[in-house]
Amino acid sequence: MKSLRITICLVMVLVLTGSTRASWELTGSQSEVNPNPDHLSYNEWGRLYDNSQVVLTSGGVRYLSAHNYSIVNISGGSVSEALYAWESSTINIYSGHVYNLTSYKSTTVNISGGSVGQYLYAWESSTVNISGGAISLVGAFDNSIFTFSGQNFSCGSGLTIDGSHVLGTGMLFGEWLDGTPFQAHIQYHDSTATIVAVPEPVTILLFGLGAVMLRRKANI
C-alpha cells in the first residue's frame, strides 16, 4: 500500500491509504490531512478505518470521520467543523472542542469533558454517554440512547423526568458529579429514542439501601 506522509509545522502525520490500518497522532496545527482523493476539496479532512486510532491533544482538524472499529480520543485541540462516527467506531472526548458531532449505526460516544459547541446528534442505534463537559443542542433520533450521568437534575418547559427517563423536548439542567452545573437543550427526541438522567452512584446506593430497609420492615 502506498503511504502518504505529510509534515506540517514540525508535526508529522502518517496516513496509510486504502484498507491498510492507519494510526495518527495529531499534536499540532494541521493545514491539511487528506487521505482520500475524493475529498480533496475539503481542507483538513481526516478519515479513519478498520481498527485505526487518532489522538488529538492540541491543534486540530476541520473534519474528522471515524469508520468501522476505529477510535478517536480527544484530550485537547479542536475539530472545528464536524466529527462523524460510523459503524462501530468509538469517540472519547476528555477535553478540547468539537463544533458538531453526529453518530450513526452502532457507534459509542463518551463525553467526560471538553465541549460540543453546536449540536450533538445520534441516529440509528448509536449510544451517547455524557458525564461532563459542555453540551449545547441534543438530537436523539431512531433507536439511539443518551445517558446523562450527574445529579440535581431539573427540567425546563416541555421536558419532564419520569424515574430516570427524560421525556419530551426542552432544557435539561443539572450538575456533573464534580458539582459543575450544566444545561443541555434537548432539541429533537424521537419516540423510539431513549434519554435517561442517571443520578450519582452514591444516590443510587442510598436508594438501594432504602428499598432494602423497606422490604425488611414489610417482612417484620
Give me the mean pLDDT over the 1-9 stretch.
Answer: 32
Question: How do residues 154-195 score in pLDDT, each as one tens digit?
Answer: 999 999 999 999 999 999 999 999 999 999 999 999 999 999
DSSP letters, the chain, are --EEEEEETTEEEEEE-TTS--EEEE-SB-S-----GGGTTSTTEEEE-TT-EEEE-SSEEEEEEE-TT-EEEEEEEEEEEEEEE-TT-EEEEEEEEES-EEE-TT-EEEEEEEEEEEEEEE-TT-EEEEEEEEEEEEEE-TT-EEEEEEEEEEE-TTEEEETTEEEESEEEEEE-TTS-EEEEEEEEE-TT-EEEEEEPHHHHHHHHHHHHHHHHHHH-
Nine cell digits for residue 138 = 441534543
pLDDT band at 21 (very low <50, low <70, confident <90, very high): very low
- Which pLDDT belongs to residue 13? 33
136-152 residue pLDDT tens: 999 999 999 999 999 99
Q: Against a cut of 0.85, is the pTM above it?
A: no
pLDDT tens digits along 60-99: 788 899 999 999 999 998 888 999 999 999 999 999 999 9
Q: Read off the C-alpha cell for 170.
A: 426542552
